[in-house]
Structure 1
Amino acid sequence: MKLRQLIRRVIAAGAGIVLAGALLTVPAAPAHAAPGGSGPYPADYETTLRLPGHTVYRPAVLPTGVLLPIVAWGNGACRADGTMFENFLKELASHGFLVIASGRPGGTGRTDADMLTEAIDWAIAENGRLGSRYRGRIDTAEIAVMGQSCGGLEAYEASADPRVTTTGIWNSGMLSDLDNHRLARLHAPIGYFVGGPSDIAYENAMDDWNRLPAGLPAFMGNLDVGHFGTYGQSNGGEFGRVGAAWLKWQLKGDPAARAMFVGQNCGLCSGPWQIMRKNLT
């Protein structure tokens, strides 16, 4: 039985979380992050009454003269725990991003794609709100939606929002051909970051890759680490390093970050990553 059929049948039977090791499985809680991440702006997280169902990762001291692009993040298992990917998300934020994860710290329950849109709406509103610590500090023209596993499916859905300027799909892929219409709605560069053939989402991600709209800039990176990636490692491990680079290129135009993905001698062209590219310049 094909993976998509198997997962769909389990969900249809009423299971909230799929079989152990399958696409919506909850990974083990990550180890405690190295404080702040490795970027120039040591990061922390907070909650706010204006967005009560989310966790906000940002530089602990907001940098002067630096605008923070927006990154909306959906968790694996669509789990409403905003600290489920703490190491990884602190790493991203430490490079000068406002990262908003669905769910409160240590939260329970499930999330949906609307929560990614809510995160974007909140950040844009905070940039203009009198009295907000973020007033005039957010780059509201540069927005990423990303997610792992089930959260990647949420990111697909939220990517139809015309404000989105890049999408990140982590260990994820469409579960059913009935959802492939969402691929046709993609309009911004997309990056896939998958755990290699041992990743339960590998087949799905590769199928999606072959169905992307013609002309869409796209990157596919496979690192042989399986479905749970390196998120729990210090600073999010290799996934944290490459994820930060993707965001720095796509949302900040960083030429050094771009060199990791583009060209015959790109930074990821040799080494453990297996990569494919479409329309990247």
Structure 2
Amino acid sequence: MSLLTAFKRGALTALLVSLLPLHATAANPTPPPTPEPPAGNSIPPVSRVDADGPYAVTIERNVGPSRSGWVVRPTNLGQNGVIHPVFVWGPGAGTGPSNYEFHLRRIASHGFVVYSQTSTSSGDEMTDAIDWLISENQRSRSPYYQTLDTGNIGAGGHSRGSVASFAIADDPRLTTTIHVAGGSFDGNGSDNLRNPAAYICAEEDPLATPNCRRDYANTDVPVWFTVMDGASHTSAARDGLPMIVAWLRWQLAGETERRTMFIDPSCEFCGPGYETQYKNW
């Protein structure tokens, strides 16, 4: 066969191949690369925020910087590479962590490490708790070593615990605060806020709810505010627990889809049973 004939046949073959359907020229295509698995540092997703999450819970009592706090946490810290967000909870006046065991267990079952101690109005115990938890996360012999997401820390509380949360809200280590049935007494609590905040208040609470309304009016950061129908000052923390869990999963765990539960014309916590407002988003 002459060189010219071979060239012509090769050119003709290439032309015919180029006219075939794409699948005929790729009968054995190279499979696409397998995507990298997620980093695995996020808490597992859930379908409900009004029920316990996927974690078994352990309570450690008489711990913390003053040896008088509780740590309520997932039993298997760091399982599957999860790094757990941190939430510091302030009990109401005249109470302590034991009065909120149900609440703390529920929050921890969703993957959060929760610290709680008897509240003061100054919130110094909350600041000390944050210091201690960050230190424990760095201490190689600590049970919390490198399992805490110290870039996502929240503070919140009920009644006096809410006041304490206002007092420390300008701490740069905080990502969010939650204020349950505990408006500031002078209306200036919101001045300390630097990050998104949630106000969860009760219809049958003639003392705290007017202060909540005033705080909301004075708030300049992104804020979400609701008054729960039929709730009292005492019941507000338990009645508001689904909101607390959902808020923490949004603000601390990065579940941005939770936004529509709060900030949306048809949001879950905006319908019957809630008098809801929000601004600055």
Normalised to the residue count of structure 2, the TM-score between the two structures is 0.76
**Structure exhibiting the larger radius of gyration computed from Cα positions:** 2
Match of 2:233 in 1: 227
Q: What 5-or-longer segments of structure 1 have no aligned partner?
A: 1-36, 104-108
**Larger strand share, 1 or 2:** 2
Q: Name which of 218, 222, 239 aligns with 2:223.
A: 218
Match of 1:12 in 2: none
**Larger helix share, 1 or 2:** 2
- TM-superposed CA distance for 1:199, in Å, is 4.6
- TM-superposed CA distance for 1:111, in Å, is 7.2
**Larger RCO: 1 or 2 (CA < 8 Å, sep 6+):** 1
Amino acid at match of 2:248: L
Q: Name which of 60, 66, 71 aligns with 1:46.
A: 60
1:91 equivalent to 2:109? Answer no
Amino acid at match of 1:271: P
Match of 2:12 in 1: none
Distance 2:217 2:236 in 1: 26
Q: Contact (CA 8 Å) 1:200, 1:226: kept in 2 or not? A: no
The superposition leaves residues 78-135 of structure 1 with CA deviations (integer Å, 9 ceiling, x where unpaired) of x4622121111111111111110014xxxxx967510001111111111110111111
Distance 1:85 1:256 in 2: 28
Give SS of 2:59's match.
strand
Q: Aligned pair in 2 of structure 1 residues 264, 144: CA closer, same or farther (>3 Å)?
A: same
Distance 1:278 1:43 in 2: 35
Q: Contact (CA 8 Å) 2:179, 2:200: kept in 1 or not? A: yes
Match of 1:262 in 2: 263
CA RMSD in angstroms comes to 1.9
Match of 1:72 in 2: 88
The superposition leaves residues 126-165 of structure 1 with CA deviations (integer Å, 9 ceiling, x where unpaired) of 1110111111110001111101111111000011211111
- TM-superposed CA distance for 1:43, in Å, is 2.0
1:187 equivalent to 2:197? Answer no
1:160 equivalent to 2:170? Answer yes
Amino acid at match of 2:201: V
Amino acid at match of 1:220: F
Q: Aligned pair in 2 of structure 1 residues 76, 69: CA closer, same or farther (>3 Å)?
A: same
Match of 2:161 in 1: 151
Alignment of 1:19-38 (within 5 A): 38=52
- TM-superposed CA distance for 1:185, in Å, is 2.2
Q: Name which of 197, 207, 210 aligns with 2:214.
A: 207
Give SS of 1:259's match.
helix
Amino acid at match of 1:56: V
Distance 1:226 1:205 in 2: 14
Match of 2:137 in 1: 127
Distance 1:156 1:202 in 2: 15
Distance 2:227 2:183 in 1: 13
Give SS of 2:252's match.
helix
Amino acid at match of 1:186: L
- TM-superposed CA distance for 1:222, in Å, is 1.2
- TM-superposed CA distance for 1:255, in Å, is 3.1
Q: Aligned pair in 2 of structure 1 residues 49, 91: CA closer, same or farther (>3 Å)?
A: closer
Alignment of 1:166-177 (within 5 A): 166-177=176-187
